[in-house]
Chain A
Amino acid sequence: MYPILRIELLKIFRQPRTYIAFVAIAAIVLLVQLALYMDGEQWLSFGMQSLTSNFSIEGKILNGYLVCFVVLQTLLIHVPLLVALVAGDLVAGEANMGTLRLLVSKPISRVRLMLSKYCAALAYTILLLIWMAILALLISLLLFGVGDLIILKSDEVVILEKSDVLWRYFAAFGYAALAMSAVAALAFMLSVFAENSIGPIVATMSVVIVFTILSTMDIPIFNAIKPWLFTSHMIGWKGFFDNPIQYHAVLKSALVLLAHIALFVGVAVFVFKRKDILS
């Protein structure tokens, strides 16, 4: 499978459109960092008004860890689109280009071809998350320095000592990679049914948006399905910033995401194996 995977990676990383995601992430992260560097103290004092009226807070609150948390919260909503851009193109883009028929007429099994394509999408997703980590965490730490991380939640304030934060970010980025891999699997599956990549990309985003709305709406009728929607578990990375961490809940969310990945990739392979290539 490795030679096919290498070819799939070459095809992904030789397409200029692949780098749109990397440029977009860099632009957003750097803009957020610049804004916080210039105006961060003022923004923070406004946000922490309710807390500072009752408590005395000392130390450097606007630090690299907090900036990284802000960036993560902002960006992880948009990354699914960037992942779908590539994963939704993997089969449909080849069908549109006319290269799919050439690929399938080569002495490789369709199952292997599909698994290689998904692995290539995984590699792209992980690289995107590493890029995001380098920019959001490393650059923020260089610009803003290290400090304790204070997170305001709706019903509590979490304060994490600086020595206890870095590993949580590694875990959070790892979890985010898993969540984005589920989005990639969905786009990949939809890609099998289409002959141009616009359809799967739009369909993926539509599913993510609809499921996210269902996940966040507090209406009893949706409560039964919420635990089974993968979008309900995409924000599971925040679990690593609880104190103490609810490992059981994080693990359960990760398993739901893995089950979705297996389902989406399984359907994609099953359908493609029997598909008539007419493009």
Chain B
Amino acid sequence: MSQIIKVSSLSKSFGAIHAVDNLSFAVDKGDVYGFLGQNGAGKSTTIRMLLGLIQPTMGDIEIMGLSLRRHHREIMRQTGAIIERPDLYKYLSGIENLKIFARLSGQKPDNRKLMDQMEMVGLAERATSKVSTYSQGMKQRLGLAVALVHQPALVILDEPTNGLDPQGIADIRRLILHLSHDLKRTVFVSSHLLSEMEIVANRMLILDKGKKVVEGTVSELLDPSRMVVQLETSNNMQAIDEIRKSKWAEKLNQNNSESQILFLLNREQVPELAADLVKMGIGIISIQPRHSLEDYFLSLIGSNQHVSHTAN
């Protein structure tokens, strides 16, 4: 069984709103699969459907070769998840929360193993403190411990770095890589922080308005021959007008602005572009290639209004 998740023609509507629209993808065993999209793109709705929390309007989900509709319990025995915020029972201690969810996952709680789990997420010293006294980062780490308490083969993480400080984000990254490389788990992780996915994911899907924009390996999607080029001129608006009249119009990003002009080009086209710009009388200040996934994402989505950036 190489495919751990197989999603076919999945749709979910809430009244007239199509939260997820005819989505299909597959996640292979051992993948760290990045599920990318802006806020409201349909990531959490898809994840809730993968966990059986909401029923799809149409489409099928198979996990580990089993139909989710018919084998929810069997699948959930081998699946661990964090869904949006890691909300837990605040009036109980961390270890008590872990014990509860171990039992619910069909495990007989073993105190030593539970403490090992707390150790793994760096909470051993605060294991007996009430969750109400935990910081956001600690709650997130406890949420991860809860998701992993029954050693699931598939780990689904919905925005696991939300609300974390840079150190917390780095810890989660390390943990995802540890799960994948050392423990050989399949990890499905959603994020709107594109730079996160560049570091941890080997495959990814970009979702926009509930629809798949692109899917592939991170190396394919970051093909160095396809690059985002940023142009800075003495008068960007005037330059955009001129470029729109030329053959380069189709290479322009849709939502360019006074502050930046972006093109999606092949590497060998850059000198030709520079020469043509000079011929058009455009005062070039700089032409810079940008390789990040974020730029790639922007070029696909055609908007940068809601995309978040990370500092590290």
Contacts and interface: CB of A to CB of B under 8 A. Distances in A.
Given A98-B85, A102-B101, A106-B105, A274 B91 contact: no
A98 B90 CA distance: 11
Interface hub of A7, A14, A15, A101 (most chain B Cβ within 10 A)? A101
Given A15-B91, A99-B89, A105-B76, A277 B104 contact: no
B58 to A, nearest CB: 15
Q: Is the interface of B mostly helix, strand, loop or mixed?
A: loop
Interface in B41-97: 48, 51-55, 72-77, 79, 81, 83-85, 87-92
B91 A107 contact: no
Given A11-B89, A99-B87, A101-B53, A107 B77 contact: yes
B15 interface: no
A126 B103 CA distance: 26
Interface in A75-110: 97-99, 101-109
A274 B53 CA distance: 10
A15 B130 CA distance: 12
Nearest to B74: A107
B307 interface: no
Contacts of B53: 101, 104-105, 276-278
Nearest to B146: A102
Given A105-B76, A107-B76, A276 B54 contact: yes
B281 interface: no
Contacts of A104: 51-53
B83 A109 contact: no
B87 A102 contact: yes
A21 to B, nearest CB: 17
A104 B55 CA distance: 13
Contacts of A103: 104
A97 B90 contact: yes
Nearest to B156: A105
Contacts of B83: 101-102, 105
Contacts of A105: 51-53, 76, 79, 81, 83
A97 B104 contact: no
A107 B85 contact: no
A98 B87 contact: yes
B106 interface: yes
B280 interface: no
B120 interface: no
B183 interface: no
26 contacts: A3-B103, A7-B104, A10-B100, A11-B92, A11-B100, A14-B89, A14-B92, A97-B89, A98-B85, A99-B88, A101-B48, A101-B51, A101-B53, A102-B88, A103-B104, A104-B53, A105-B81, A105-B83, A106-B101, A107-B74, A107-B75, A108-B104, A274-B55, A276-B48, A276-B53, A277-B48
Closest 3 CB pairs of A and B: A98-B87, A276-B54, A107-B76
